[in-house]
Structure 1
């Protein structure tokens, strides 16, 4: 930035009154060389222009999901295009490939980070700080339904003020901050994505919740908490990223106090999903590639796995069946012309993709941004298709209790 120094970084030489005008002039400092003397008024004009330029870009990037601007490349240590290429390679052989499923499970950390390092800005732009769906009652708005979706967890966990609970895969911490305020409890979030951890910690500080909320970089397959130490564990559409749900659920069981509960919303294939149906498989694969999933369990497999690790499953059902309008409606044309709903609607996706593509062509957005935008847009399309057919749900709700007499780790 201009700072009253010349292009070599040295301070301008003093000159006599007659040696420069208000716009500056060249002086001979050596044969064949000249030194530009910049006046005070010129420096001030340059500084004002630089300040206006900074404000313009800050305003632009506040309303456009231009990845890389807010630090994901620094957190990942990779260029956006490189990370996007590596992410797509994990899906290269298609939905029928057991080899790709095994590879995604083996490299699940790279899969998740590859997704969220790049996609977080898009999610915040379109969805806000809570990266999940909701079910709707009556004339609830999108935001109202999102809050009730989160508060339901706190109620079913039977939390008391001062309890300490764990948020598995907490994202940037939108739900944890709402639950901490609502239940007057303490929440510690775990997340393997450096970029989201840094953003979430900033939000906690901005909202003055340092005494109630914290986020640590940790893997929900290997939680850094003592046995029988937590009053509750929850997950909101996050353990769908686990390559081994049995191990993830077992870790939740281990850290819970006897009698405490693990509550969550899980992405799952419903009983209507037919693995022999090619269209069903295509939709499922599209959802997985568009959302960074290694694989998808059925609802029955989720209940069975919870029971196998020792939980008593007190409740389990597809919450989307209780919604008075489709759970996927925010992704459709519904609400497209309302300010609060436009960004995550289908029309909003097209507009966002066009803007990001233009910014990438102008070399403002990093190369690879438009590819991620298109991947997310296609994933949203397949979620709508899966929802309309009733073969896929992001909201399989469960309440699982650790038995009182259990000492099992």
Structure 2
């Protein structure tokens, strides 16, 4: 997996932190608690009002894909009960929407980390408002140097943060390090397509498109799902599975753009200086 000068550029962490310090309030007003894509049935047309529900579905689809129990409130087999997460790390937590959701769903102890001090403070404030301060906490920390001991968590969660990581192997290695034996590691992240056997790089128009996205969102080079699989295999992780949800998230952006074009959305963007 090639890394370029973008990945090693000085100030990458500062750029990411600054981006989310400045923009998180806007995205909260438009997206809500969850700063990630929504999940739709392939070909489904998204309406302006349902993207927040689709974001919750994204969480549930990720849990189902990893065979984490769907409904802990009903009677479970002993095997399923053992899979119920009790300790969770939310790597690249945003304002903590996933952590609060998982804490409410499972009663789990959740710890979120982000590079943004604004996000960490907002996440802790929302946890307090929702009576979750004893279950959920957030701090500023680097995902590539997590401030946790080995083997602490039985669910390691990364929802759309891997694309910010300049060293994908170190990123996955840290997720594996803090995972307890038998834990589930869930990575939902932006990837480029797998290369064909005859290719040694993406096409020029694909590279140009990705560069524009990287420049806008402080992203280092992307990698493919097969790159992640190779990393996971090299770390001796087991039961490695991938899925391409591109068609399932495609309807999300039109719905969000429509919501941003409401009066509330436009005034939020203007206040932030985003437009």
Q: Same fold (TM over 0.5)?
A: yes
* 1:161/1:184 contact within 8 Å kept: no
TM-aligned CA deviation for residue 210 of structure 1: 1.3
Corresponding residue for residue 146 of structure 1: 55
Q: Does 1:131 align with 2:57?
A: no
Q: Does 1:330 align with 2:226?
A: no
Residues 9-408 of structure 1 correspond to what in structure 2 (within 5 A)? 98-103=4-9, 106-137=10-41, 141-155=50-64, 156=66, 158=68, 163-271=86-194, 275=201, 277-321=203-247, 323=248, 327-332=249-254, 341-343=258-260, 347=261, 352=266, 356=270, 365=271, 369-370=272-273, 373-374=274-275
- Relative contact order: is structure 1 or structure 2 higher (C-alpha 8 Å, sep ≥ 6)? 2
Structure 1: runs of 5+ lacking an equivalent: 1-96, 357-364, 375-409
Q: CA deviation at 1:313?
A: 4.1
| Count of residues in Structure 1 that have an aligned counterpart in Structure 2 | 250
- Structure 2: stretches of 5+ with no match in the other structure: 70-82
SS of match in other structure, 2:147? coil
Following TM superposition, by how much is the alpha carbon of 1:185 offset from its aligned partner in structure 2, in angstroms?
A: 1.5
Quote the offset at 1:250 in angstroms: 0.8
Q: 1:335 to 1:262 in 2, by over 3 A?
A: closer
Q: Describe the shift of the 1:121–1:307 C-alpha distance in structure 2 as closer, same or farther (beyond 3 A).
A: same
How big is the shift at 1:117?
1.3
Q: What CA distance in whole angstroms lies between the structure 2 residues aligned with 1:154 and 1:102? A: 33
TM superposition shift of 1:102: 2.6
Give CA-to-partner distance per residue, 1:277-296, whole Å, 9 cap, x none: 33212211121122221221
**Alpha-carbon distance between aligned partners in 2 of 1:139 and 1:277, rounded to the nearest angstrom:** 29
Cα distance change of structure 1 residues 250 and 119 upon mapping to structure 2, 3 Å threshold: same
**Residue 360 of structure 1: aligned partner:** none
Q: 1:203 to 1:157 in 2, by over 3 A?
A: farther
Q: Could you give the per-residue CA deviations for residues 232-282 of structure 1, whole angstroms, max 9, x where no partner exists?
A: 101000121111111111111111111111112011101379845332122
TM-score, scaled to structure 1: 0.55
- TM-score normalised according to structure 2 size: 0.80
Q: How far apart are the structure 2 equivalents of 1:306 and 1:144? A: 31
Q: Is the 8 A contact 1:157 1:232 kept in 2?
A: no
The separation in 2 between residues aligned to 1:170 and 1:182, in whole angstroms, is: 17
Q: Contact 1:157/1:262 (CA < 8 Å) preserved in 2?
A: no
